[in-house]
A and B are shown apart, each in its own frame.
Chain A
Amino acid sequence: MEKQAPQNGPLEEALTISRADIVIGIPSYQNARTVAHVVRAIHAGLVKYFPQYTAVVVNSDGGSTDGTREAVLSTRVEDTHLLLLSHPLFPIHRLSVPYHGIPGKGSAFRLIFQVAERLRAKACAVVDSDLRSITPEWVDLLVRPVLHAGYDFVAPYYHRHKYDGTITNSIVYPLTRALYGMRVRQPIGGDFGISNHLVARYLERNDWESDVARYGIDIWMTTIAITEGFRICQSFLGAKLHDAKDPGADLSAMLQQVVGSVFRLMQEYDPVWRKRVGSQDVDLFGFRFDVGLDPIEVNVDRMLGLFRRACVDLGEIWALALKAETLREVRSLALLAEKENFRLNDELWVRIIFDFACAYKERALDRGHLLRSLTPLYLARVASFVLETQTLYSPEVEEKIEHLCRCYEDLKPYLISNWDGSGPETAETDRKKSAGVMTGGTPDVVDAAKNH
């Protein structure tokens, strides 16, 4: 049943199979410890829910040296003593192939999509290789809406610990929702179902060599699906329990890749988001239930310490990105002596993100520098969120996130005016004007935007 690691290129290997209805992709790097469970869950899911379909499981590996590929190929579903009542009509093929090019999750996805297209798969799904909470039902929930309900893109919907997914909760979800008007709760969840039409669209794009090749891939996929009119839905998958990301990875770089992708896509889809007002729910499949979650330890003192030091050291850089009023408020936060009183409120946070988006577009400074300078501000926001929600339960935390989302939507006029260059000047320009270095003036629209 299982195929050995190919000697030829991965696409040539896929050609020997010739055709498959379903392709399930698993991007991996050093995941020998967890990948076997993921493979077993997928195998069981395919046997249980899609026995009449031909399927291929593709592991796209980034050069693991811990035996990840061997684990994928040698895992046997029988080892679990699982009693399968249904039996597949066709064998489930399994490939484990190394991808080439820029090392990263996006490059791994690209290879999976190429295999799916070559096999003319009707549906493709991708799942992370570090998942501990994946069950056979995930395969059904990610693939069935594509195969049987005509959806092109299935985003995951999980229960996560209140301090898990903080980039999602504080930036990516609310910003995507405010921009494109669709409430996709986990736009960078990492586990997706995709139709063959959408796979073809992804592959025909030519921006694979950017941050898309790395952690920018998830938001890139979601944004394209939303903005280009593909049918999208969500599937409730339960809890997302997974290993830590590669501990050796530069996590500031991860933030940079994700946020950089969001900002870059904002430029591309400017005409789309400019017109959209408010947001709407997205269809949700799956039966929702409560689950237990791994606790997450957070060191608030360390985050605040980093933020306070950055206020001293990065003031010059922030002055190029942030509007004068925003910078003033950020600096005043650093003066708060009491940790418990520290709050980076929703409105200020939204203005920070919008200011950064405009600075990114205007190239107010090098884009890499700009995005890296966001890290201390992001940590300050997370620290504030943790302090604010430490006694709250999940539903109350969700309300807080909902409030943040509405704040993003309410301040969209502020973004548009700054995006068009008619908003207030950055702190640096403002300073120069006050010093008489420049002449001419611009209307102050902050208040107008706030009042809107």
Chain B
Amino acid sequence: MLWTLQKIIEGALERLSYQLITYLPPLLAAVVILAGAWVVAKLARWSFTRIFKGIEFDRWLRRSGVTTMLDPSGRLRGTEVVAQTIYWAILAVGFLTALNAFNTQLTSRMVETAVLMLPKLVAAVLIVLAGAWLAQYLGRSALLWAVNEEIPSPRRVAAVVRLAVMFVAVVVAADYLDFARNVFLAAFVLIMGGAVLAGSLAFGLGGRDALGRYLGGQRSEDRSAVPAERSLWTHL
């Protein structure tokens, strides 16, 4: 009985020591790699922040119009974005290297998948970012147009434009990643088709009178008639 118990304990200790011998060094190595990556990332972020501030990177971005292009609200700080990107990129590389230290099938597959997915993921993120920028830009254009043309609820008009552009960007990104492709495409077709139909009906009903006048040959008279309330606007 005692002998059996001793055997079990010895086996457990053996397995533990084997596992410790097998996994502890890579774990320690992974921790060291992660810690090293974290320190390097911090150092890189600090250095790049200092360097970019020194060369007035934000000011240059703002003056060249890049800041406005990327972020129409003008709140974007280029230095911060670049430094944070470098920070996270170093951490990601560190994480993958740490995983690779285990040299198991699972970790190797994870690293491989991440490396293979990375370009696609970056492209998808870029598509969404470009969509976000375009949505902001067109949304603001729509807002200004609606305000100046006295269209009711200009903020809603802008919001609809922003949403539509963002939706298209997400559909494109999802399609690129092969992620729920059919669901997104079906939703896209349904929504866009509905919007076009609604727009056509609204335009057709709203523009019926104008079209009638146009076909009746009254166009030229209409163009020369200036409404009284706009007359101020006609003189520079």
Which residues on A are within 8 Å of B, measured CB to CB?
30, 33, 66, 160, 163-168, 188, 190, 215, 244-245, 247-248, 251-252, 254, 258, 296-299, 302, 305-306, 309-310, 313-314, 316-317, 320, 362-366, 368-369, 372-373, 375-376, 382, 428, 432
Question: Known contacts A247-B225, A313-B154, A369-B72: does B140 contact A164 (CB below 8 Å)?
Answer: no
Instruction: Convert B211-236 into 0s and 1s, putting 1 for each residue whose CB lies closer than 8 angstroms to a CB of A.
Output: 00000000010011110111111111
Question: Known contacts A313-B147, A320-B74: does B226 contact A298 (CB below 8 Å)?
Answer: no
From the candidates A163, A314, A382, name the one contacting B143 in the complex (CB within 8 A).
A314
Instruction: Convert B172-212 into 0s and 1s, putting 1 for each residue whose CB lies closer than 8 angstroms to a CB of A.
Output: 00000000000000000000000000000000000000000
Q: Which residues of A contact B62 (CB under 8 A)?
A: 362-364
Q: Which residue of B lies closest to A246 (CB)?
A: B223
Q: Which residues of B contact A251 (CB under 8 A)?
A: 230, 233-234
A-B contacts counted at CB < 8 A amount to 111
Distance in Å from the Cβ of A377 to the closest Cβ of chain B? Answer: 11
* Chain B interface main SS type: helix
18 A-B pairs with CB atoms under 8 Å apart are A163-B232, A166-B232, A247-B234, A254-B236, A258-B236, A297-B231, A297-B232, A302-B229, A306-B150, A363-B65, A365-B68, A365-B73, A366-B140, A368-B141, A369-B141, A369-B144, A376-B148, A432-B75
Q: Which residues of B contact A306 (CB under 8 A)?
A: 147-148, 150
| 4 A-B pairs with least C-beta separation | A244-B234, A299-B229, A251-B233, A372-B144
Q: Which residues of B contact A317 (CB under 8 A)?
A: 140, 143-144
Q: Which of B137, B223, B236 lies at the interface centre, i.e. has the most chain A CB atoms within 10 A of its CB?
A: B236
Contact A313 B73 (CB under 8 A): no
Q: Which residues of B contact A365 (CB under 8 A)?
A: 68, 72-74
Q: Determine whether B155 belongs to the interface, using a CB cutoff of 8 Å to chain A.
A: yes
Given A297-B232, A317-B140, A382-B232, 13 new contacts (CB under 8 A): A165-B235, A188-B236, A247-B234, A251-B230, A258-B236, A296-B232, A297-B228, A298-B232, A299-B232, A313-B155, A363-B64, A365-B74, A432-B75
Question: Known contacts A252-B148, A313-B155, A369-B72: does B234 contact A363 (CB below 8 Å)?
Answer: no
Q: Which residues of A contact B225 (CB under 8 A)?
A: 247
Q: Which residues of B contact A188 (CB under 8 A)?
A: 236
Q: Which residue of B lies closest to A373 (CB)?
A: B144
Q: How big is chain B's contact interface, by range?
A: 35 or more
Contact B232 A366 (CB under 8 A): no
Which residues on B are within 8 Å of A, measured CB to CB?
62-65, 67-69, 72-75, 137, 140-141, 143-148, 150, 154-155, 220, 223-226, 228-236
Q: Which residues of A contact B64 (CB under 8 A)?
A: 363
Distance in Å from the Cβ of B162 to the closest Cβ of chain A? Answer: 13
Docked pose: A247 CA to B228 CA in angstroms: 12
Distance in Å from the Cβ of A395 to the closest Cβ of chain B? Answer: 20
Question: Known contacts A244-B231, A302-B229: does B63 contact A362 (CB below 8 Å)?
Answer: yes
Q: Which residue of A lies closest to B63 (CB)?
A: A363
Docked pose: A182 CA to B150 CA in angstroms: 38
Docked pose: A245 CA to B230 CA in angstroms: 11
Docked pose: A195 CA to B125 CA in angstroms: 58
Distance in Å from the Cβ of B64 to the closest Cβ of chain A? Answer: 8
Q: Which of A168, A215, A317 lies at the interface centre, i.e. has the most chain B CB atoms within 10 A of its CB?
A: A317
Contact B236 A165 (CB under 8 A): yes
Distance in Å from the Cβ of B29 to the closest Cβ of chain A? Answer: 39
Contact A369 B140 (CB under 8 A): yes
Q: Which residues of B contact A33 (CB under 8 A)?
A: 224
Q: Which residues of A contact B137 (CB under 8 A)?
A: 366
Contact A309 B68 (CB under 8 A): no
Q: Which residue of B lies closest to A33 (CB)?
A: B224
Docked pose: A432 CA to B231 CA in angstroms: 42
Contact A314 B68 (CB under 8 A): no
Docked pose: A165 CA to B235 CA in angstroms: 5
Q: Which residue of A lies closest to B234 (CB)?
A: A244
Q: Which residues of B contact A432 (CB under 8 A)?
A: 75
Docked pose: A296 CA to B75 CA in angstroms: 43
Q: Which residues of B contact A248 (CB under 8 A)?
A: 223
Q: Which residues of A contact B74 (CB under 8 A)?
A: 320, 364-365, 428
Q: Which residues of B contact A305 (CB under 8 A)?
A: 150
Q: Which residues of B contact A66 (CB under 8 A)?
A: 220
Contact A244 B150 (CB under 8 A): no
Q: Which residues of B contact A364 (CB under 8 A)?
A: 62, 68, 74
Question: Known contacts A66-B220, A215-B236: does B228 contact A299 (CB below 8 Å)?
Answer: yes
Q: Which residue of A lies closest to B61 (CB)?
A: A363
Q: Which residues of A contact B230 (CB under 8 A)?
A: 247, 251
Q: Which residues of A contact B144 (CB under 8 A)?
A: 314, 317, 369, 372-373
From the candidates A167, A309, A368, name the one contacting B236 in the complex (CB within 8 A).
A167
Docked pose: A307 CA to B125 CA in angstroms: 39
Distance in Å from the Cβ of B69 to the closest Cβ of chain A? Answer: 8
Q: Which residues of A contact B143 (CB under 8 A)?
A: 313-314, 317
Distance in Å from the Cβ of A165 to the closest Cβ of chain B? Answer: 6
Q: Which residues of A contact B233 (CB under 8 A)?
A: 251
Docked pose: A382 CA to B236 CA in angstroms: 12
Distance in Å from the Cβ of A134 to the closest Cβ of chain B? Answer: 16
Q: Which residue of A lies closest to B227 (CB)?
A: A247
Docked pose: A215 CA to B235 CA in angstroms: 12
Contact A164 B228 (CB under 8 A): no
Q: Which residue of B lies closest to A190 (CB)?
A: B236
Q: Which residue of B lies closest to A219 (CB)?
A: B236
Contact A245 B147 (CB under 8 A): no
From the candidates A163, A167, A297, name the one contacting B229 in the complex (CB within 8 A).
A297
Question: Known contacts A314-B144, A317-B140, A376-B148: does B68 contact A366 (CB below 8 Å)?
Answer: yes
Contact A316 B73 (CB under 8 A): yes
Q: Which residues of A contact B234 (CB under 8 A)?
A: 244-245, 247, 251
Q: Which residue of A lies closest to B222 (CB)?
A: A247
Contact A244 B226 (CB under 8 A): yes
Distance in Å from the Cβ of B158 to the closest Cβ of chain A? Answer: 8
Question: Known contacts A248-B223, A251-B233, A362-B63: does B148 contact A372 (CB below 8 Å)?
Answer: yes
Q: Which residue of B lies closest to A314 (CB)?
A: B147
Contact B235 A296 (CB under 8 A): yes
Distance in Å from the Cβ of B127 to the closest Cβ of chain A? Answer: 21
